[in-house]
Structure 1
């Protein structure tokens, strides 16, 4: 993503861009007329082909989202391989759209916030660190900071090569590398951040690859596992709309009582927590060692009530 000379989307462009990318994500190819029609269906005014072309150019130049034109069919498609992470971009656009909705309602009523309850203040308290960390990532410079450990209940000093920021369960985390390997830190618990002067070799893509096959933040470096989970059918809309992992796919769709999914992941602590939160509504089918671990955790929980 380019930082210099990047244009900011206005409110109309936010909604238009959101629909454009979401439509192309749903379909392998969309004719330009159908694409314009889809965008106009959600707009108060029509847009022209020139406007569509400008939006596509802006997505490419400012956000790394590449949309290809097939001149023979006059159809557009997303270039998934060459584009920046599309889901991350859509999350960014969703935040902008929500902020614009709140702003417009606040201007109209002066009381919009009376009807909105935010989850917690963790994300807000992390905001001051964002700019410093992103600057260090962009310039490939190390950072030093104090971090409060929830495990050790004390502050510790670290020097880190910062690679990328990752959001998980409404908190922002910094992923980087210390002398002891890859680490993640909650950025709302970082203090006294300073940027170093000695540049390091950028390894953001390599770091992202290592975390791509885990749920959450705990990176484990062993063979990928095929995990099969069997849910009560009532959980299907929830599991499908809020996936446990991007590798998730539905299997055994003919059953009327269960809903089974398959994932290809490194099962870690966070994944086990996600499974356990479904209680009796889920069963680990494969691998057997994971099913045994989940069963043992449930037994420990039951022992707490004896």
Structure 2
């Protein structure tokens, strides 16, 4: 299907002919109109033939869904729009674009009602109204979500604070401790394991940290404060989490983790890698050995804990001992 500059010139010429109610346009007239338009805009002379114009008409019917009347006048046929008020320039989107937009809106509608996505609802309503896309559909895609998670009501305000570089006072309660207020410069939001985490800079923590992490479900209250915002000039968050699983980034060296995996489990680990650094080191009939390059953190330990009946931790030794200790504690607790 032609989409180059000459094709667009021909489409516009044909569109003008089809909506002209004061004249009959036969195929010869359409060819002449296309050639005249091309000559005026590009200098090309007599470049369009009948076969090209007929293909252009089919393309316009396919792209814009134009409805043409083709009355007979003796042995000849002339062409015009069924509705002379119609123009391809009046249609904002073609059929393919409309179907793509419908699919996108249908997917995004899954998030309606969730506090962290309330900002999308007005945008979706405008799209549906402007492009007349509202229709009743049966859900065909399901996302993992927890609309009851504490702290989701703060998502939009925090998101806006990041966008507008607004310093916040955050009242935060760590598990098992008293609630405290912090002056906070918010930089980044990240979801992991169905929980949301906020990353930024704290003004008055005793330890000197470039990045401080707050879980949204532990934030009790936020409010804007008139304190100059300290911009993030040190951390590239699209790279910050590359060497970890989860959201906890320790100031430690990357280590090699070697795991021997039962071949019953390995297809799942192969199709859903534990981490981007995952590499296969060895295969045999019963097991596959892989290697990861990571900073070891609590999220990695929890992930491995769910696979321990099918995984043997070969290295590092201290990680294996720590996991064995956690399993023993779990057995004692549940005996």
Query: Structure 1-normalised TM-score?
Result: 0.58
Q: 1:274 to 1:194 in 2, by over 3 A?
A: same
Checking the alignment, whether the CA contact within 8 Å between 1:143 and 1:194 is kept in structure 2 is: yes
RMSD of Structure 2 on Structure 1 (CA): 3.5
Equivalence for 2:146: 120
Aligned length: 210
Shift of 1:202: 1.5
CA distance in 1, matches of 2:315, 2:257: 5
CA shift for structure 1 position 275: 0.5
Q: Which runs of structure 2 are paired with 1:229-268 in the superposition (5 Å)?
A: 229-252=259-282, 254-268=283-297
Q: For 1:69-218, what aligned pairs fall within 5 Å after superposition?
A: 98-99=107-108, 107-108=136-137, 112=139, 119-122=145-148, 126-152=151-177, 154-178=178-202, 179=205, 180=207, 181=209, 182-197=211-226, 198-203=228-233, 205-206=235-236, 209-218=239-248
TM-aligned CA distance change 1:162 to 1:102, over 3 Å: closer
Alpha-carbon distance change, 190 to 304 in structure 1, aligned in 2, over 3 angstroms: closer
1:220-257 CA distance string (max 9 Å, x none): 111110111121112223223333222222332x3231
Q: Cα–Cα, structure 1 residues 295 and 108, in superposed 2: closer, same or farther, change >3 Å?
A: closer
What runs of 5+ residues in structure 1 fail to find an aligned partner? 1-44, 48-93
Q: CA separation in 1, counterparts of 2:175 and 2:263? A: 37
Distance 1:105 1:261 in 2: 49
State yes or no: 1:285 paired with 2:294. no
Whether the 8 Å contact between 1:139 and 1:199 is mirrored in structure 2 is no
Between the aligned partners of 2:171 and 2:237, the Cα distance in structure 1 is 22
C-alpha distance in 2 between matches for 1:102 and 1:157 = 31
**1:209–1:221 distance in 2 versus 1, CA, 3 Å:** farther
Contact 2:254/2:294 (8 A) holds in 1? yes
Cα deviation for residue 219 of structure 1 reads: 2.2
Matching residue of 2:83: none
Residue 143 of structure 1, CA deviation: 1.5
Deviations 1:89-108 (A, max 9, x none): xxxxx997733579999813
Shift of 1:210: 4.4
Q: 1:136 to 1:116 in 2, by over 3 A?
A: closer
Distance change (3 Å), C-alpha of 1:144 and 1:224: same
- Equivalent residue for 2:28? none
TM-score normalised by the chain length of structure 2: 0.53
Per-residue CA deviations over 1:11-60 (Å, capped at 9, x if unaligned) read xxxxxxxxxxxxxxxxxxxxxxxxxxxxxxxxxx889xxxxxxxxxxxxx
C-alpha separation between the residues in 2 aligned to 1:260 and 1:188?
38
**For residues 116-175 of structure 1, what are the alpha-carbon distances to aligned partners after superposition, in whole Å with 9 as ceiling and x for unaligned?**
69653245x5443233222222333322122233343x4322222212111100111101
Q: What SS class does the counterpart of residue 166 from structure 2 fall into?
A: coil
Rate the CA distance shift 1:213–1:276 in 2: closer, same or farther, 3 A: same
CA distance in structure 1 between the partners assigned to 2:240 and 2:156 by the alignment: 25
Q: Which residue of 2 aligns with 1:29?
A: none
Runs of 4+ in structure 1 off by over 6 angstroms are 94-97, 101-106
